Amino acid sequence: MTNNSNTSRVTVKVLEQMKNDGEKISMLTAYDFSFAKIIDEAGIDVILVGDSASNVMAGHETTLPITLDQMIYHASAVVRAVKRALVVVDLPFGTYQADSKEALKSAIRIMKESGAHAVKLEGGHLAKESIERIIQAGIPVMGHLGLTPQSIYKFGTYTVRAKDYEEANTLIDDSKMLEKIGCFSIVLEKIPNILAKKVASNLRLPIIGIGAGSDVDGRRI
């Protein structure tokens, strides 16, 4: 992270170089123009327009109710404020899980209507077809493994994931797959520090942790 707001635009290639150079990546969430402007001027590298706007801005219990139109609204406000940071937008629940064609249409709408720079999807092998289709269209994709809030009713809790051997191995396999198909980065949320460290040290792409310890390439608050 740098405090120089005049620094050139952060791109996926810049993040890759930061990992290669051992430079930590900073990432924060914003949902509106005012906070995005403050975060960008502080020199944060990546701004996520999270589907957590469903909880934080609209007061819903989970991230599930937020719509694609609402995500585009929040993303557009953030993009208008940002001069430097890479802006990544969550694809909301229901816009990519069932159909890879629908996933691509959703990602295209976000990119065209908000001006964002990338999208983020939750899931590993089950989301592979959708992720591949989006990447093949030229849209950068950030993966998301570990605790995936859109699956909260499946998990039943927001506690740490991948603590057992089987789930940890699945996460490792999913992370390797996401790198192989072309994701530019992966978010690891609420997993053991030792597992996050293993993933970060074995993959070339930047790993961003959320409650995953300090041995990753960057952290999101």
Q: Where in the sequence numbering do the catalytic residues fall? A: 189
Q: Report the distance separating Cα 196 and Cα 208, nearest Å.
A: 9
Q: Are 171 and 191 in contact (CB under 8 A)?
A: yes
Residue 109 has φ and ψ, to the nearest 5°, of -60, -45
H or E stretch at 206 = none
Q: Report the distance separating Cα 182 and Cα 140, nearest Å.
A: 8
Give residues with Cβ within 8 angstroms of 143, minimum separation 6: 120, 121, 123, 124, 131, 174, 175, 178, 183, 185, 186, 187
Other Cβ atoms within 10 Å of 136 Cβ, number = 12
Classify strands 185-189 and 207-210 as parallel, antiparallel or unpaired: parallel
